Amino acid sequence: MIPSFAVVGHPNKGKSSIVATLAEDDRIHIGPTPGTTRRAHHYTLSVAGEPQYVLVDTPGFQRAREVLDWLQSRAKSASERPGLVAEFVRTHEGDVRFRDECELLDPIVAGAGILYVVDGAKPYGPEYEIEMQILQWTGQPRMALINLIGSGDHVDDWRHALAQYFSIVRVFDAVNADFDNRLSLLRGFGELNEDWRGAVDKAVAALKTERRRRRERSARDIASCLIDSLEMVQRVALDDRQDVEELQSRLMAQFQDRIRRRERRSRDAVQSLYRHQSLTREEAATELLHSDLFTGEGWELFGLSRTQLAISGALTGAVAGGGIDALLGGASLLLGAGIGALLGSAGAWLGGEEIAKVKVLGEPLGGRVLQVGPVRSANFPWVILGRAWVHHHLVAERNHARRESIASSITAERHLMDALPDELRRALSRLLKRAAAGGISAADRLSLAQRIGEMLENNPGNTAVVDSDVD
């Protein structure tokens, strides 16, 4: 049987927050109103489809005193206590009066370990001991978690009281716990029962590997976003009746919108990787100036400019003419090649316009084009990268119990990179220059993703980043 852990306690002490944090599920309802969890919810951690353990989010105790009275009125010896708790659940199944108690005791009776949650920011009260006694009566391995909701500090009082009923007492800030805290808590689950340790250790190892993969996948996605943004070009076919300036402004707006959408897609992907499905963000869009962008008008056929086409025509004509010269055994004194080159270049120059209008399978072969992009500002890739880094950091470190939207802004784009080791910064700089120069090889693309992955392991730092949660 796979280990199971029931998160139990008083209502509104952060049970669902703890489950949301551990299960990385930001859809779990968390609210100040007590009684939002009305029945037990099971969250199974699977590694490659193989369940490792189950977390059970339960409703809080509502009538603990009555439950204890019921148990005490029937108990004759300590050995009967676990059986009596099971009998209580069986007897009151379907009884609306004890619905919450049955929901929370049922998984424990079925063999779940107990994670009893209290709020260390609020004073200890002796009435809690009733709940602790009931849990003690179940005979199941149990751990107390002192959650911290608010600014008060009554942890010591709680610790002393809880230590009398629980073999392990830990402080766990469900809303602010980082990944290492979460893993540490999971390892603690394994300490509750020797038989559970294997599954818990396997889950911890898998979560660490998954964490690394998420970072790598994020890095790959950020690299793609960066390269796409740097290579982005907005082009439109021009005809003589159009106002070029008006078209250029429209193209510029479309270009900026594409950059924004590309960044948004990347942000969504990163959030999705870290299972932040409901997280909203408030982020100013990257603003580009006209001076940041290449804008120009041109003409092309088969991907060649008019001059390139003329040269190609001349070369082609020369080769054809050269063949005639060869046939004549050189008697033509290379006139064939010369005339061929002239005819080829003139034909390409003069006839290119007409050829460009020809449509094959609906695609014109060429014509006049107006182009906006790529971005040529040297700072641009750093801005994109810096924003992505900050966003990744906020998302990766963010707890699933938090419900506010995130807002991020960068106060100093290049300065942000000072937080990186010199070697990494130089490598990124080299790769970004190549990407910005208009092309990046597959190998460089891979290197860029790896380097970004290394970057994501670092903290962007408090000096450069303004991270605020927006209600």
Partner 1 sequence: MSDSQLALLVDVKNALSEDADTPYSERLERDRAFGRGLAENLSAADQLLAWWRTTADPVSPTAGERVVRLRRMVSAVLCLIGALLGMSLSTIVFGYDGAYPVNLFALLGVVVGIPFVLLILTLLLLPGWIPGLGVVRDAVSGISPSRWVGVWLDRYSRLNLFSTYSDQRRRSSFARWQLIVFSQWLAVGFFLGVLLVAWLLVVVTDLAFGWSTTLQADSAVVHGALNTLASPWSAWLPVAVPDLELVAASRFYRLEADGLSSARAVQLGEWWPFVLMVIVVYGLLPRVALLIAGYWRLRLATRSLLVADPDTAALLDRLALPVVGYVGDASAEESVDSSSVASPPSVEAGVTTQALVWNDAVGTAAATDWLSANHGAQLAQLIQLSVLQDLAERTAALQAIDKEVRRIVIFTKGWEPPLLEFSDFLELIRENVAADVSLMVVPLDVSGVKVQAAERDIWARALTNVDDARLYVVEA
Scanning 86-94, 250-258, 408-416, 432-440 for contacts with partner 1 by CB under 8 A, the matching segment is 432-440
Indicate the residue among 305 and 468 with the shorter CB distance to partner 1.
305
Per CB under 8 A, 423 contacts partner 1: no
Q: What's the CA gap between 115 and 145, in Å, rounded?
A: 7
- x-or-dash string of contact with partner 1, 367-406, rule CB under 8 A: ----------------------------------------
Per CB under 8 A, 209 contacts partner 1: yes
Per CB under 8 A, 90 contacts partner 1: no
DSSP line for 373-396: EEE--TTHHHHHHHHHHHHHHHHH
Indicate the residue among 16 and 420 with the shorter CB distance to partner 1.
16
> Of 86, 110, 315, 419, which one interacts with partner 1 (CB under 8 A)?
315
Residues numbered 9 to 28 that lie near partner 1 (CB under 8 A) are 10-12, 22-25, 27-28
Residue whose pair of structure tokens reads 């830990």 in the numeric block: 170
Scanning 61-69, 180-188, 386-394, 409-417 for contacts with partner 1 by CB under 8 A, the matching segment is 61-69
Residues numbered 95 to 154 that lie near partner 1 (CB under 8 A) are 100, 122-123, 125-127, 130, 152
Please say whether the beta carbons of 89 and 73 come within 8 A.
no
Indicate the residue among 61 and 255 with the shorter CB distance to partner 1.
61
Q: State in angstroms the smallest separation of the CB of 38 from partner 1.
A: 5
Indicate the residue among 133 and 458 with the shorter CB distance to partner 1.
133
> Of 181, 316, 429, 450, which one interacts with partner 1 (CB under 8 A)?
316
Per CB under 8 A, 438 contacts partner 1: yes
Number of other residues whose CB lies within 10 A of the CB of residue 118: 25
Indicate the residue among 125 and 298 with the shorter CB distance to partner 1.
125
Per CB under 8 A, 57 contacts partner 1: yes
Query: How many residues lie near partner 1 (CB under 8 A)?
Result: 87
Scanning 161-169, 279-287, 357-365, 416-424 for contacts with partner 1 by CB under 8 A, the matching segment is 357-365
The tokens describing 403, both together, are: 């419900």
> Of 3, 14, 60, 107, which one interacts with partner 1 (CB under 8 A)?
60
Kind and range of the H or E element at 368? strand 366-375
Q: What's the CA gap between 20 and 43, in Å, rounded?
A: 10
Q: What's the CA gap between 123 and 125, in Å, rounded?
A: 6
Residue whose pair of structure tokens reads 């919810």 in the numeric block: 41
Indicate the residue among 57 and 173 with the shorter CB distance to partner 1.
57
Indicate the residue among 326 and 412 with the shorter CB distance to partner 1.
326
Nearest to 216 by CA among 463, 406, 47, 446: 446
Terminal-to-terminal C-alpha distance of the chain? 42
Orientation of helix 197-231 relative to helix 442-456, angle to 10°: 130
Q: State in angstroms the smallest separation of the CB of 183 from partner 1.
A: 13
Per CB under 8 A, 319 contacts partner 1: yes
Indicate the residue among 37 and 138 with the shorter CB distance to partner 1.
37
Scanning 108-116, 375-383, 410-418, 437-445 for contacts with partner 1 by CB under 8 A, the matching segment is 437-445
Nearest to 127 by CA among 87, 81, 161: 161
Q: Which residues of 205-236 are buried (b: 16+ CB within 10 A; e: fewer)?
A: ebbeeeeeebbbbbbbbbbbbbbbbbebebee
Indicate the residue among 17 and 37 with the shorter CB distance to partner 1.
37
Q: What's the CA gap between 453 and 219, in Å, rounded?
A: 5
Residues numbered 322 to 341 that lie near partner 1 (CB under 8 A) are 323, 326-327, 329
Residues numbered 34 to 53 that lie near partner 1 (CB under 8 A) are 34-38, 41-49
Please say whether the beta carbons of 235 and 369 come within 8 A.
yes
Query: What backbone torsions phi and psi does residue 294 show, to the nearest 5 degrees?
Result: -80, 130
Q: State in angstroms the smallest separation of the CB of 372 from partner 1.
A: 17
- x-or-dash string of contact with partner 1, 259-288, rule CB under 8 A: ------x--xx--xx-x-x-----------
Long-range contacts of 264-271 (CB under 8 A, 24+ apart): 265/225, 266/221, 266/222, 266/224, 266/225, 266/388, 267/388, 267/391, 269/218, 269/221, 270/218, 270/221, 270/222, 270/388, 270/391, 270/392, 270/395, 271/395
Query: What backbone torsions phi and psi does residue 209 show, to the nearest 5 degrees?
Result: -65, -40
